[in-house]
Amino acid sequence: MKLALFDLDNTLLAGDSDFQWAQFLIEQDVLDREVYEARNIEFYEQYKAGTLDIHEFLDFQLKPLSRHPREQLHAWRSSFIQQKIMPLIAPGARELIARHQAEQDLCIIITATNSFVTAPIAQALGIRHLIATEPEQKNGQFTGRVSGIPCFQAGKITRLEQWFNEQNLTWLSFLQSWFYSDSLNDLPLLRKVTHPVAVDPDATLHEHAQKNGWPIISLR
């Protein structure tokens, strides 16, 4: 068995779904532009710099989910996927996924962005398995808090290994493993696989990939 792991934002997508979701809610007048837009941009810059406090960000990002009924959230999300996400699917993303699927590799999207936003994106990309940051729910409604360990930086390894355990798998179940990512934040998991691949990487990851002889590709 072989394993193919895909980061989502700025990897399979030519943009960031977390950032775009907040911007979409601002455009819909769900969130106050004056209050939220500057903070959204600030968090995104911190993420790119590798300095993001994930819990502070998730408090910002998940709170709006708790303020509206699920039916309304699903309606907004449907419009968001069509208007903002479908145009962002990187031109080479589907071909890369299809290549691994043709080899019958186990394909998983693993992303820091929450599963409410990313589940329909994984479905649109034809990938069955998604490991994402999980919003906490009670009685069918979001609480605005995170459930468990955020799927971010080294937390991606923890969440992946938890998923392995649920499937009766370990790293030793795989002869080869790939991880495709654009971000310095994913260096812990990139170092874990047998085939790390830098995809349209940020400057830090690009330098690291060059030094270590990792492939550098573009899906755009």
**Catalytic residue from among 9, 18, 182, 186:** 9
d(Cα 124, Cα 135) in Å, to the nearest integer?
21
CA angle 149, 153, 154 (to 5 degrees): 70
d(Cα 24, Cα 31) in Å, to the nearest integer?
9
Bridge partners, residue 217, by sequence: 199
Can you tell me whether residue 176 is helix, strand or coil? Answer: strand
**Any catalytic annotation for residue 200?**
no
**Any catalytic annotation for residue 182?**
no
Residues 118/80, Cβ–Cβ less than 8 Å: no
**Catalytic residue from among 7, 182, 200, 202:** 7
Active site residues: 7, 9
